[in-house]
Amino acid sequence: MSSRHSILALASLLLVAQAYAQTQPRDHNLTLTFTSFHQNVGTNISFSMRDRPIPSTGTCFNLTDVFGNSSHSQPYVTQNAEQFSPQNNYTTFFYKQLNETGLAVGKDAARVVKMWPYENCRSTDFSPWYGLSCQSEGSAYNMPAGIKSFSVVDRWYSNNEDEGHCWTLAEDGHSSAACTSFQGCFVAMMAAALAGVFLTM
Ligand SMILES: *[C@@H]1O[C@H](CO)[C@@H](O)[C@H](O)[C@H]1NC(C)=O
Ligand SMILES: *[C@@H]1O[C@H](CO)[C@@H](O)[C@H](O)[C@H]1NC(C)=O
Ligand SMILES: *[C@@H]1O[C@H](CO)[C@@H](O)[C@H](O)[C@H]1NC(C)=O
Ligand SMILES: *[C@@H]1O[C@H](CO)[C@@H](O)[C@H](O)[C@H]1NC(C)=O
Ligand SMILES: *[C@@H]1O[C@H](CO)[C@@H](O)[C@H](O)[C@H]1NC(C)=O
Ligand SMILES: *[C@@H]1O[C@H](CO)[C@@H](O)[C@H](O)[C@H]1NC(C)=O
């Protein structure tokens, strides 16, 4: 009888665990590291989030708030926040995001990330935003205009903006030429190379 009880207990525990997993989707940490340079010396500040952001509490993050204010309601942690200064120009960032289920580098990640040149997730015609939504083991990118805010949206709520091809570094959300197949990429690459040749002739 006790073993039957423990099986029941185990079964209900599994159900609870499953329900929890469904309400609290988890993935490997999303890590964003922002680097500012002063006399060629880089300073890194870092943001890590294991859960997906809770949409009701906002999906836009100002660097000033994330690194300058330790009290917040989103499930993330920071590193080196004491090194943050609103005067610094964060022009390089490092992006790492991997799925827990469906782990595949270069394929759809669980969250859609955007990097913005102004606070409150704003951009202009001259200073675009950049979208990243592919799984990556970690890559560094430059954003010369500097980063003032970023947004993180659960893929579930992202309106399929990147449908068909997740973003590697999509300026204003435009993916670079139709590189959905190797052939397409190769043709685009050759065309670009030839154009380069003609331009220099
Ligand atoms: C992953 O993020 C969580 C917070 O969401 C944090 O507690 C944990 O330390 C992070 N792990 C790593 C390896 O960054
Ligand atoms: C820090 O964040 C908390 C919670 O979001 C907010 O109430 C408070 O006003 C913030 N403080 C500053 C200095 O921005
Ligand atoms: C800052 O991060 C980059 C990669 O994200 C790394 O190459 C570099 O060594 C880091 N610098 C410091 C000072 O930690
Ligand atoms: C990664 O996880 C997200 C959220 O569960 C899912 O939508 C996406 O399809 C997964 N990626 C792959 C390649 O399975
Ligand atoms: C970001 O900063 C701007 C300017 O200080 C402020 O108006 C806005 O409420 C902040 N956004 C978030 C999501 O905290
Ligand atoms: C950051 O630096 C770049 C180039 O060094 C410059 O164009 C940009 O205006 C700077 N941004 C800020 C906010 O200082």
Instruction: Looking at the CA of residue 62, tell me the nearest atom of ligand 5.
Output: 1
Instruction: Looking at the CA of residue 64, tell me the nearest atom of ligand 2.
Output: 14
pLDDT computed for residue 55 by the predictor: 74
Cβ atoms of residues 116 and 149 within 8 Å: yes
Question: pLDDT tens digits, residue range 12-43?
Answer: 444 444 444 444 556 789 999 999 999 999 99
Give residue for tokens 């197949």: 181
The response to whether residue 91 sits with its C-beta less than 6 Å from ligand 6 reads: yes
62 CA from centroid of ligand 5 (Å): 6
pLDDT computed for residue 4 by the predictor: 52
For the chain, the domain total comes to 1
- Residue spans of the chain under pLDDT 70: 1-26, 57, 176-201
Q: What is the 3-state secondary structure (H, E, C) of the chain?
A: CHHHHHHHHHHHHHHHHHHHHHHCCEEEEEEEEEEEEECCEEEEEEEEEEECCCHHHCCEEEHHHHHHCCCCCCCEEEECHHHCCCCCCEEEEEEEECCCCCCCCCCEEEEEEEEECECCCECCCCCCCEEEEECEEEEEEECCCCCCEEEEEEHHHCCCCCCCCCCCCEECCECCCCCCCHHHHHHHHHHHHHHHHHHHC
Could you tell me the residue range of the domain that residue 18 belongs to? 3-199
The response to whether residue 63 sits with its C-beta less than 6 Å from ligand 1 reads: no
